[in-house]
Structure 1
């Protein structure tokens, strides 16, 4: 795929810098979220969360079940409106939530957990939906759209499924197709909610390698992950949530340690070193 992601982010910051809600032209890039709050039925799910995701890096959003990971992604992506007017979400120094949906979709792609469709779409047609933000409302699929869609399918290893209906795929296969749809958007910012859900171990590692390559190409990646070991193997930066608040954030070597994880997860953690990669390997046992 043609790499337009960095240029899109740069144009976005240039267009909005100094405008309503902009954070300034000298922003440091990546995501900078401040005072993110979200309430449902009087229950506070996110409590003034401050979080960052550095540009061109894989950032992991971690935390126990119910800690607010999925909700935070949806608020950052503009799917849910924050409950506090003080909430600010900047990307590359510009007001992300201030964008219209179509403009935001040119910058940001969100892969939600267990995304489904009842429409009788082929895999190729589903991935081509990712091209909608890049064409006029009444235009059909162009040769460039098909090129981007097929490249995305190739990237996630699902080219053989192109003619199949999405409804006939397994959960893991559908998850990879939804990732391909997001890649077809050619985003500068990619957010994912449990992208390895339903995948076998080989597919999990392949997916994390895709995210690693995207980050190396300049994409800002923020992924909610349930598996701390996968996060330790791939992420550059992590944000750890508990009870709707950030309890730790930073380099994986600083956050994924017993002093932090044991209290949050209620376990005993041992940190080993992978013999080939040198990355942390986490081992867990129950507390006595």
Structure 2
């Protein structure tokens, strides 16, 4: 993967104008009578990489899908933040009240298990991210293809452009889905385990791409399973447990034993990285 800012330069002007980040208030979601999200308040600052953390089953994936408008909050609370109700806003705009096509120009969602069995090339898959920017019946333009090739270079898949997606490994497909999201040129990017299936080098490259987006003014919220990746690469973290926010803030304030131990059921020790000064976490069984 490349970390060049050209990966998202076309969206820099719009994103840099965003004065506010993502703000979700009292978001709930239930299925089969079970409350998966219980009045979640969640923020992701503009121009920052925010990590969404929590044990398995804590509600991370569900929260991202609700924030993206893929599934509505419980009780249809798609708006109402202004009057104290549940809502999801970005840069002062009610995200969930936007028509789907317009919302797709603002945010992109990269899901953990996104897959396709269609015999399409990597380039064609990435070009799907350009659909919100053209009329329904229009074909790909030269500008669309330029954006697609640029984001493929950003995620290190230039040589894969002509390959069929079905022939790729899980990690390669994950990078295709990230490229498709970048091709939308969003001001807000939501990612569910973007490092899933990636080897160590590819994980670091993926997180460097997210850092580049944030430096260009994009708001990034990524669900991460690896707490040390979050400690090294995030500016801000939100920790979920049992469908509720346990803590949120700077990594140095949230990723500490008093917060993590009761949530994960472990004993945490925090060291300091000798080069970056960021926290490095080690874990041992409780008791």
Between the aligned partners of 2:37 and 2:204, the Cα distance in structure 1 is: 30
1:3 equivalent to 2:10? Answer yes
- Asked if the contact 1:5/1:187 (under 8 Å) is kept, the reply is no
Q: Hey, which bits of structure 1, 4+ residues long, moved more than 6 A?
A: none
Q: In 1, distance between residues paired with 2:166 and 2:34?
A: 35
Q: Does the residue aligned with 1:113 lie in a helix, a strand or coil? A: coil
Q: 1:46 aligns with which of 21, 37, 40?
A: 37
SS state of the match for residue 96, structure 2? Answer: coil
Contact 1:29-1:92 within 8 A present in 2 as well: yes
User: Could you list the runs of 5+ residues in structure 1 that have no partner in the other structure?
Assistant: 14-27
Deviates more, 1:136-145 or 1:272-281: 272-281
Give the alignment of 1:227-266 within 5 angstroms: 227-266=226-265
Runs of at least 5 residues in structure 2 that lack an aligned partner in the other structure: 1-7, 78-84
Whole-angstrom CA distance in 1 between matches of 2:15 and 2:208: 23
Distance 2:176 2:114 in 1: 10
Q: Deviations over 1:13-54 (max 9, x none)?
A: 8xxxxxxxxxxxxxx510010010000011000000001000
1:29 to 14, 20, 43: 20
Partners of 1:246 and 1:8 in 2: CA distance: 27
Q: Which SS does the other structure have where 1:61 is aligned?
A: strand
The 1-side partners of 2:229 and 2:9 are apart by 28
- Distance in 1 between residues matched to 2:101 and 2:151, nearest whole Å: 20
Query: Hey, what does 2:109 align to over in structure 1?
Result: 110
Count of matched residue positions in the alignment of Structure 1 and Structure 2: 272
- In the TM superposition, residue 118 of structure 1 has moved relative to its aligned partner by 1.5
CA contact (8 A) 1:6 1:188 kept: no
- After superposing the two structures, state which structure 1 stretch, 219-228 or 85-94, moved more: 85-94
Partner Cα distance (1:243, 1:6) in 2: 39
Q: 1:150-229 to 2 correspondence within 5 Å?
A: 150-229=149-228
1:58 partnered with 2:57: no
State the Cα distance separating 1:133 from its structure 2 match: 0.4
Could you say which residue in structure 2 is the equivalent of 1:283?
282
Q: Does 1:71 align with 2:71?
A: no
**How big is the shift at 1:279?**
1.2
Question: How far did 1:194 drift?
Answer: 0.2
Displacement of 1:275 in angstroms is 1.3
- Going from structure 1 to structure 2, the CA distance change for 1:220 and 1:8 (only over 3 Å counts) comes to closer
CA contact (8 A) 1:236 1:251 kept: yes
Q: Note if contact 1:175-1:195 (Cα within 8 Å) is conserved in structure 2.
A: yes
Give, in whole Å, the separation in 2 of the partners of 1:209 and 1:278. 18
Deviation at 1:8, TM superposition (A): 6.1
TM-score (norm 2): 0.92
Q: CA deviation at 1:131?
A: 0.4
CA RMSD of aligned residues (A): 1.2
Q: TM-score, normalised by structure 1?
A: 0.92
Q: Please list the CA deviations of residues 67-93 of structure 1 after superposition, one character each: whole Å capped at 9, or x if unmatched.
A: 000000000000000003342000011
Give secondary structure in 2 for the equivalent of 1:226.
coil
DSSP-derived class of the 1:32 partner: strand
> Which whole-Å CA distance do the structure 1 matches of 2:9 and 2:267 have between them?
46
Between the aligned partners of 2:29 and 2:276, the Cα distance in structure 1 is 39
Quote the Cα distance in structure 1 between the aligned partners of 2:20 and 2:112.
Answer: 26
